Structure 1
Amino acid sequence: MTDTLPELVCPVDRAQLRQDHESLVCTRCGRRFPIRDGIPVLLEDEALAPQSSSDR
């Protein structure tokens, strides 16, 4: 999957995504998109809310 990562962008704000464990994280808005069975689920309704700075 890391081969295609540079081509994937956040569906909300079109920012780059970075891989973090079992999800892709938007570098701008912080939304987390799950990776299920090796496939990123880039649907806004499936995204997890950004973590607050105190959670990091």
Structure 2
Amino acid sequence: MKIDDWLLEILACPACKAPLRAESESEELACTGCGLVYPVRDDIPVLLVDEARKP
């Protein structure tokens, strides 16, 4: 997964507005607040609550 650090700093969870952290082993972004996990497809984060999964 190729997400620049500066981009990861400004991304936020659309559900609770908490910061996201990269889960490199699963190619996903996890919310540090509510815990939703967002997929990354072709190095593009899919930040839709409907596409997120609960851990």
Structure number with bigger Rg: 1
- What is the TM-score with the length of structure 2 in the denominator? 0.85
**Structure 1: gaps of 5 or more residues:** 52-56
Instruction: Give the structure, 1 or 2, with the largest relative contact order (CA under 8 Å, sep 6 or more).
Output: 2
Give the share of equivalent positions with the same residue, in percent.
48
Structural RMSD (CA): 0.8
Structure with the largest fraction of helix: 2
CA-to-partner distance for each residue in 1:9-34, whole Å, 9 max, x for gaps? 00000000000021000001110000
- What is the TM-score with the length of structure 1 in the denominator? 0.84
- Please give the secondary structure, in 2, of the residue aligned with 1:3: helix
**Structure 2: gaps of 5 or more residues:** none
1:28 aligned to 26, 33, 54, which one?
Answer: 33
